[in-house]
Chains A and B, each alone.
Chain A
Amino acid sequence: MGDPINLISQWFNNLLLGWGLGERLVAVLSLFVGAAILVTASLLTVVALIWIERKIAGRLQDRIGPNRAGPFGLFQPFADMIKIFTKEITTPDGADKVAFNIAPVLAIASVLLIWAVIPMAATIVGTDINVGVLYIVAVGSFGIVAILMAGWSSNNKFALLGAFRAVAQMVSYEVPMVLALLVPVLLARSMGINEIVHAQGTWFIVIAPLTALIFLITSMAEVGRAPFDLIEAESEIVAGFHIEYSGMAFGMFYVSEFLHVWTIGALIATLFLGGWRGPGAETWPILGLFYFYIKTFIGYFVITWIRLSLPRVRIDQLLSFNWKFLTPLTLVILIVTAIADKLLVLAGVERWFYVLVMLAANILIAWGTVLVLKALEPKRARARQEFPPRPVAVAPKPSEN
């Protein structure tokens, strides 16, 4: 009874075999059915996430949040869904129809594909490939192509500019994200996500807290969540690359963003918080699923919390933060972690000593970073002053007559 999903899968296989289908066909069919169930479950999670997000947003902003549509506003996401379903899907004049219609599908596909490799319990994993971490990075690039397609095919200059800014942000923040992802790979000696979860006797957030923080920051920038939400800054460029989308097409982008944040929470939980591990998770896989959901929700809550507390950053602040701060810092962390790990393993130290030394190394790097920033402060302040913002519209000087 502790492993319901595998029980259901075996029952389904036996059912199909009983109907007389061949064994390999049954295996392929059950893979397809499993994929369909995973996709449906992920999309249904978004329905719950819409409600959770709006309630949390309300409470953090000292208001109640939706409470009209049903008790505690529980039917609010259904009201949203009905509204989106019944809106007309307009296509702008002169738009590139094929790219216009494929872009939202590609955007949501790039998020759903990540769920194929995340282990949700000891025995529940979509597919166990040995390059899972790199697969996640690869699938993210489909989302980037989708944004470009959406921006270009809308036949709208502002959509195009929004798409360029979004892609610049996402491509820039991929660099520290990949470097930060290398640290759990290094610590677990494998790129497979199952192996990374199995290697977390002590959670990796204790061994590499700075890396977890950097992964959190860069993932938020990848999704386009505040404070990095120039992509869809409602007060600045209306809606960025999806201005021209309405109805279900917009609903796809909306769902893909929520699902992406939930997926980032799942990735943080898997790579840094130990995934499905917890007391009793190996014997009762259903407990593993429960722990996984709790940890994912913690990640989701932290991201939403940050979103509702910080103002938006400008594009130049964003890019300089990435290239001048995050990338060198992540490189330093990676080098220090690699050297420390190798030396400690060669010296054959105990596990608790290893954890302690890695934690101390992270704290030292953080302290060193603060010192370096303080030392560079006069130079950066001077650099800011050399390029004061020049007003575009200047009143004409009174003529000396």
Chain B
Amino acid sequence: MSGFDIIFLGIAAVTLAAAFMVVTTHNLVHGALWLVLTLFGVAATFVLLNAAFLAVVQVVVYIGAIAILMIFAIMLTRKVMKDSGPQTNANWVVAALLGAVLFVGLAYLLGNSSAATMALPEMAANMDPVVQLGEVLVSPNAYVLPFELASVLLLAALIGSIAVAWKK
């Protein structure tokens, strides 16, 4: 068990515990805050995989925008400080069973795939992942078309939100 494994297990444990708390806590705002911790755990996992850019983008986009938006929505639409309700409805047995089946299936698939025994690929000493990412995103042989389509989608969402909120 190398140091890398210990750190990864620690981060994974924190992430999973926080994710469990997101869905089981009674207080909605607490759930949103546990979500922030979960997303931060995912960012830490990215750091372990040498993907520093993805880690910081995860924090900026997920925690800095999406989690804050969710917290805003919760705080603006709930009047009671200690808002809580029943955490489960009548179908929780079937849902738990489906969740367990999904977990077993995914674990089996991932365990038998090649990724389970692959070591972390070594990066060349002078390779800069950010530069490579930039080149790949705008190179015509690579991913420029999905990149531009995603930008058009974001633009449509932006214009749509302005149109919805426009004062007549």
Q: Using CB atoms, name the residue of chain B closest to A141.
A: B64
Return B161 CB to nearest CB of chain A, in Å.
13
Contacts A96-B29, A130-B130, A149-B33 hold; do A138 and B56 have CB atoms under 8 A apart? yes
The answer, among A99, A129, A138, for a CB contact under 8 Å with B59, is: A138
B103-130 interface bits toward A, Cβ cutoff 8 Å, 1 = contact, 0 = none:
0000000000000000000000000111
- B68 proximal to A (CB < 8 A): yes
Q: Are A130 and B75 in contact (CB under 8 A)?
A: no
For chain A, the bracket of interface size reads 20 to 34
- Residues on the A chain within 8 Å of B81, using CB: 94, 96, 155
Q: How many residues of B contact A (CB 8 A)?
A: 26
- B20 proximal to A (CB < 8 A): no
Contacts A94-B81, A96-B29 hold; do A131 and B56 have CB atoms under 8 A apart? yes
- Residues on the B chain within 8 Å of A180, using CB: none
B75-86 interface bits toward A, Cβ cutoff 8 Å, 1 = contact, 0 = none:
110000110000
- Residues on the A chain within 8 Å of B76, using CB: 164
A174 to B129 alpha-carbon distance, docked (Å): 25
Q: Using CB atoms, name the residue of chain A closest to B67.
A: A145
Contacts A129-B52, A155-B81, A167-B72 hold; do A191 and B130 have CB atoms under 8 A apart? yes
Return A94 CB to nearest CB of chain B, in Å.
6
- Residues on the A chain within 8 Å of B129, using CB: 130
Q: Are A138 and B64 in contact (CB under 8 A)?
A: yes
A235-267 with Cβ < 8 A to chain B: none
Q: Are B130 and A171 in contact (CB under 8 A)?
A: no
- B144 proximal to A (CB < 8 A): no
Return B27 CB to nearest CB of chain A, in Å.
8
- Residues on the B chain within 8 Å of A171, using CB: 65, 68
Return B157 CB to nearest CB of chain A, in Å.
16
A135-194 with Cβ < 8 A to chain B: 135, 137-142, 144-145, 148-149, 152, 155, 160, 164, 167, 171, 174, 190-191
B43-69 interface bits toward A, Cβ cutoff 8 Å, 1 = contact, 0 = none:
000000000110011011001110110
- Residues on the B chain within 8 Å of A148, using CB: 68, 71-72, 75
Return B28 CB to nearest CB of chain A, in Å.
11
Q: Are B57 and A134 in contact (CB under 8 A)?
A: yes
Q: Using CB atoms, name the residue of chain B closest to A137.
A: B60
The answer, among A96, A138, A145, for a CB contact under 8 Å with B60, is: A138
A140 to B65 alpha-carbon distance, docked (Å): 11
A72-100 interface bits toward B, Cβ cutoff 8 Å, 1 = contact, 0 = none:
00000000000000000000001010110
Q: Are A145 and B53 in contact (CB under 8 A)?
A: no
The answer, among A96, A141, A152, for a CB contact under 8 Å with B68, is: A141
The answer, among A96, A135, A142, A167, for a CB contact under 8 Å with B63, is: A142
Q: Are B52 and A152 in contact (CB under 8 A)?
A: no
A152 to B31 alpha-carbon distance, docked (Å): 14
Q: Are B56 and A135 in contact (CB under 8 A)?
A: yes
A152 to B76 alpha-carbon distance, docked (Å): 11
Q: Kindly list 6 other residue pairs between chains A and B, CB separation below 8 angstroms, not including A96-B81, A144-B68, A148-B72.
A: A131-B53, A135-B56, A149-B33, A152-B71, A155-B81, A164-B72
What is the interface of chain A, defined by CB distance below 8 A to chain B? 24, 94, 96, 98-99, 129-131, 134-135, 137-142, 144-145, 148-149, 152, 155, 160, 164, 167, 171, 174, 190-191
